[in-house]
């Protein structure tokens, strides 16, 4: 009888100790990779998160930031063939190559020379772009002209080819942060960096799903209006779009945004106003969202027939000038009424 009593006391003591172990909410926000971040996770441990986050950002910047003159990608862009890239660069390169091929070249990290020429990048833009200068720039565009060798060096068909992973690197950074949190047994988190997102588990603050928003492209300055609210269930979401920056054709009334077509080298009209992508990781979501913006609604829907595990919510402009929605069934399941 005494043994049973002692066992019960010990068992109740263990339950009591376990119940005292609380999971706390941790919030962090700041600036990184040229944008802002907001991170929330739940843990009963002190992870020294800020120090680790700084280390992650520094490592990615030193590898792929086109704004840092001493980064690996900046040295490669200047024609340095001796640079041995790190695992971060390798993963982003391979993912970019995958999306480049699947999108028939509409997602292209070598479009950087055109991005700079039109004034959207870190380099000084051209005052004017003539037909001759455009032809010269187009010779430097094409991700198929760049090779990652077995020795992890970059081989380019022309030394002046300019690599720019900004359309996919933010998503990759989120994945690295997520991997770090999961390595510390964090099962519930939401990471937002420059509007791209990745979530796992639940918001334990209210014991509910993580819920994120998609902006309404037609909102005016000074207001925040959502087009949709989305449950983010152990997945990542990236949105690409020119909010508040679309134009209206004075004759047809159709809305459009300008996006650079890697094949023509021109900043052309796209009827996709925004593309939100759900994927298993944020790197792929980020890249596909950019690709859909360049592809337009017709080519985007064709590509989606060939992709697995990618769900999209596309806001596009009809020829009549109205805004319409294309959504895959998997994305619709996560939209809240």
- Using the structure block, give the residue that is written with the tokens 């100790």: 17
Strand intervals (E) in 216-336:
226-231, 236-241, 247-248, 255-260, 267-270, 272-279, 311-317, 323-327, 335-336
Residues 71, 82 contacting (CB under 8 angstroms): no
d(CA 97, CA 287): 10
| Contact criterion met (CB below 8 Å) for 212 and 237 | yes
Sequence-ordered list of residues with C-beta below 8 angstroms from that of 32, at least 6 positions apart, any chain: 53, 57, 173, 193
Please state the residue numbers annotated as binding site for Mg(2+).
167, 286, 290
**How many whole angstroms from its chain centre is CA 41?**
20
- State the Cα–Cα distance between residues 253 and 53, nearest whole angstrom: 46
Cα–Cα distance between 132 and 327 in angstroms, integer? Answer: 41
For residue 148, give the nearest of 110, 190, 97, 185 by alpha carbon.
97
Which residues are known binding-site members?
167, 286, 290
């Amino acid at each position: 009888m005494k043994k049973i009593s002692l066992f019960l006391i010990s068992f109740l003591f263990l339950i009591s100790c376990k119940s005292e172990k609380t999971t706390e909410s941790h919030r962090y926000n700041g600036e990184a990779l040229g944008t802002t971040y907001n991170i929330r996770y739940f843990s009963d441990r002190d992870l020294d998160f800020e120090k680790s986050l700084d280390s992650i950002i520094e490592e990615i910047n030193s590898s792929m930031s086109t704004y840092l003159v001493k980064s690996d990608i900046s040295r490669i862009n200047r024609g340095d063939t001796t640079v041995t890239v790190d695992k971060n660069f390798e993963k982003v390169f391979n993912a970019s190559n995958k999306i480049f091929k699947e999108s028939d070249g509409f997602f292209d990290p070598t479009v950087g020379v055109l991005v700079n020429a039109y004034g959207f990048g870190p380099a000084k833009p051209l005052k004017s772009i003539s037909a001759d200068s455009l032809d010269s720039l187009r010779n430097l565009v094409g991700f198929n002209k760049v090779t990652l060798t077995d020795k992890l060096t970059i081989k380019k068909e022309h030394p002046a080819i300019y690599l720019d992973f900004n359309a996919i690197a933010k998503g990759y950074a989120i994945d690295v942060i997520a991997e770090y949190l999961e390595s510390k047994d964090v099962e519930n988190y939401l990471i937002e960096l420059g509007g791209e997102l990745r979530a796992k588990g639940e918001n334990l603050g209210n014991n509910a799903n993580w819920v994120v928003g998609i902006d309404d492209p037609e909102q005016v300055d000074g207001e925040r209006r959502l087009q949709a609210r989305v449950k983010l269930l152990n997945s990542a979401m990236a949105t690409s779009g020119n909010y508040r920056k679309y134009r209206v054709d004075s004759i047809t009334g159709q809305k459009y945004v300008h996006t650079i077509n890697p094949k023509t080298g021109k900043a052309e009209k796209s009827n996709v106003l925004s593309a939100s992508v759900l994927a298993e990781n944020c790197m792929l979501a980020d890249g596909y969202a950019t690709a859909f913006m360049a592809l337009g609604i017709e080519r985007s829907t064709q590509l989606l027939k060939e992709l697995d595990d990618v769900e999209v919510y596309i806001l596009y402009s009809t020829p009549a000038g109205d805004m319409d929605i294309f959504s895959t069934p998997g994305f619709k399941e996560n939209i809240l009424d």
